[in-house]
A = this chain, B = another copy of it.
């Protein structure tokens, strides 16, 4: 089985774009053909999430390389939601998509390994994701078990490095280092640089044919200058860039995430695509009834926006 990041690079080349569609099913925002009559059924919400996500996948599978289900929304529903999540992942993979599971898991030693074994590895774990997002607060020995399981199962990781939320800087942007070490430094070194170095080390040790390793990095779209800086500092690390669209990032902002071959990053958009039926520009044309056509139009628009920057 090929290296998962080689698979991702091949999928980006095949589809001609680096769009990741975020599957964040929120009950209040689902179109009414999905929710009607469901509230009263025992597993109604889980069934609705499954139908909705499979409906999105049907539309985007021929268009984009990868989808990213958000575990929190499935977990909110209880075990029935977690069962639906496993079905969504399998459905996406059967239709040719790669799946990055957004769980931001983290723990140490054999506990971290248990998360990795439960979530990572197509066809060989209960949830079977191709990649998983993980959080780094517990340090290097909390990431190593995830890397080991990913390597063994031809799967991958995306470690939180610099996130796109407003408050992300509170911890990630803290200036670090002993004063003595910093006297001559031209620019401050921050917490996220330390995490970036660690992730790049893991990726440099696990490169595939495309030159990228299996430990990717989550780097927000709201800070283009940091994207550029990290792209240069992390030459073996594939980026997952959230924050496009609804979190404020635009196509030009994500341009620095890509390498000279237009590889090295996927750009996530969740609400801007999956809830396009409710956006002003699509509501009149498609509405809830034809929500899948709104998903298609929004996906095509994002593909076009990204292609414009890559031609510049």
Residues of A within 8 A of B (CB): 24, 26, 70, 72-73, 75-79, 81-83, 86, 104-112, 114-115, 117-119, 125-127, 135-142, 160, 163, 165-172, 174-179, 182-183, 188, 191, 194-195, 198
In the bound complex, do residue A138 and residue B107 qualify as a contact, i.e. CB atoms below 8 Å apart?
Answer: no
Q: Given A72-B115, A76-B118, A78-B118, verify A167-B140 contact (CB < 8 Å).
A: yes
Q: Which of B70, B163, B198 contacts A170 (CB 8 A)?
A: B198
In the bound complex, do residue A135 and residue B106 qualify as a contact, i.e. CB atoms below 8 Å apart?
Answer: yes
Q: Given A86-B78, A179-B179, verify A70-B111 contact (CB < 8 Å).
A: yes
Q: Given A126-B79, A191-B191, verify A137-B160 contact (CB < 8 Å).
A: yes
Q: Which of B104, B170, B178 contacts A194 (CB 8 A)?
A: B170
In the bound complex, do residue A171 and residue B136 qualify as a contact, i.e. CB atoms below 8 Å apart?
Answer: yes
Q: Which residue of chain B has its CB nearest to the CB of A115?
A: B72
In the bound complex, do residue B163 and residue A138 qualify as a contact, i.e. CB atoms below 8 Å apart?
Answer: yes
In the bound complex, do residue B78 and residue A168 qualify as a contact, i.e. CB atoms below 8 Å apart?
Answer: no
Q: Given A76-B115, A137-B160, verify A195-B176 contact (CB < 8 Å).
A: no
Q: Which residue of chain B has its CB nearest to the CB of A27?
A: B114
In the bound complex, what is the Cα–Cα distance between A33 and B228 (angstroms)?
A: 58
In the bound complex, what is the Cα–Cα distance between A166 and B140 (angstroms)?
A: 9
Q: How far is the CB of A228 from chain B (nearest CB, A)?
A: 22
Q: How far is the CB of A118 from chain B (nearest CB, A)?
A: 4
In the bound complex, what is the Cα–Cα distance between A77 and B115 (angstroms)?
A: 10
In the bound complex, do residue A165 and residue B178 qualify as a contact, i.e. CB atoms below 8 Å apart?
Answer: no
17 contacts between A and B (CB under 8 A): A70-B107, A72-B107, A73-B114, A75-B114, A76-B126, A78-B125, A79-B79, A81-B118, A104-B107, A106-B106, A108-B168, A137-B137, A139-B167, A141-B166, A174-B174, A175-B179, A191-B191
Q: Which of B114, B141, B168 contacts A72 (CB 8 A)?
A: B114
- CB-CB < 8 A to A127: which residues of B? 78
In the bound complex, what is the Cα–Cα distance between A194 and B174 (angstroms)?
A: 9
In the bound complex, what is the Cα–Cα distance between A104 and B115 (angstroms)?
A: 11
In the bound complex, what is the Cα–Cα distance between A110 and B79 (angstroms)?
A: 20
Q: Which of B86, B108, B175 contacts A79 (CB 8 A)?
A: B86
- CB-CB < 8 A to A182: which residues of B? 179
Q: Which of B106, B111, B165, B169 contacts A24 (CB 8 A)?
A: B111
In the bound complex, what is the Cα–Cα distance between A225 and B179 (angstroms)?
A: 23
In the bound complex, do residue A174 and residue B176 qualify as a contact, i.e. CB atoms below 8 Å apart?
Answer: yes
In the bound complex, what is the Cα–Cα distance between A209 and B47 (angstroms)?
A: 43
